[in-house]
């Protein structure tokens, strides 16, 4: 009887080691898949959306602008606070000749929110007055219904 008990214990150890290894592999695979699923959004995709917002504003294309900027958008500028209605109104007063984005950075610690900062150089007029300059800018983007939408934007004219 003692031999049989030793044999059963021995068999349990034989099967337990591979099972622990397989369990460790399964847990590692699970953690890896979770990490991939919560990875930060693609910086290039957000930058493309940012440029699309600027281009649609420059082109005075309200429909395209509203495809990348949320209806509940908020803006903070030297001249005051803004929302979607004000942005669309201001769009009509701009004659933007060009814009160039540089020093683009993006940060996220959430899968559905991205914060961006960059420098934008603008050539153009607003309400007939020169509004050209270099601006330090930032936006907050949120994934809503499968699409990235700008929910906040600010820019400050850089001092020379």
- Helical (H) or strand (E) element with 23: helix 2-37
Tens-binned pLDDT, residue by residue, of the chain (160 aa): 455 444 444 455 555 555 555 555 555 545 544 444 445 568 999 999 999 999 999 999 999 999 999 999 999 999 999 999 999 999 999 999 999 999 999 999 999 999 999 999 999 999 999 999 999 999 999 999 999 999 999 999 999 7
What residues form DSSP beta bridges with 115?
A: 107, 140
Per-residue pLDDT tens digits for 112-140 = 999 999 999 999 999 999 999 999 999 99
What residues form DSSP beta bridges with 8?
A: none
Cα(114)–Cα(106) distance, integer angstroms: 7
Cα(54)–Cα(33) distance, integer angstroms: 35
- pTM of the entire predicted model: 0.75
What three-state secondary structure class fits 137? strand
Cα(100)–Cα(65) distance, integer angstroms: 18
């Amino acid at each position: 009887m003692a031999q049989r008990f030793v044999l059963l214990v021995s068999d349990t150890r034989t099967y337990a080691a591979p099972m622990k290894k397989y369990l460790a592999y399964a847990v590692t695979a699970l953690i890896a898949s979770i990490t991939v699923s919560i990875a930060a959004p693609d910086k290039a995709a957000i930058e493309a959306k940012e440029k699309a917002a600027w281009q649609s504003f420059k082109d005075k294309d309200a429909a395209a602008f509203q495809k990348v900027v949320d209806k509940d958008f908020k803006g903070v500028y030297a001249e005051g606070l803004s929302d979607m209605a004000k942005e669309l109104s201001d769009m009509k007063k701009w004659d933007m000749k060009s814009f160039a984005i540089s020093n683009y950075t993006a940060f996220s610690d959430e899968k559905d929110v991205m914060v961006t900062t960059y420098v934008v150089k603008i050539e153009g007029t607003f309400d007939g007055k020169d509004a050209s300059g270099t601006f330090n800018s930032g936006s907050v983007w949120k994934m809503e219904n499968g699409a990235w939408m700008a929910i906040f934007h600010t820019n400050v004219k850089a001092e020379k």
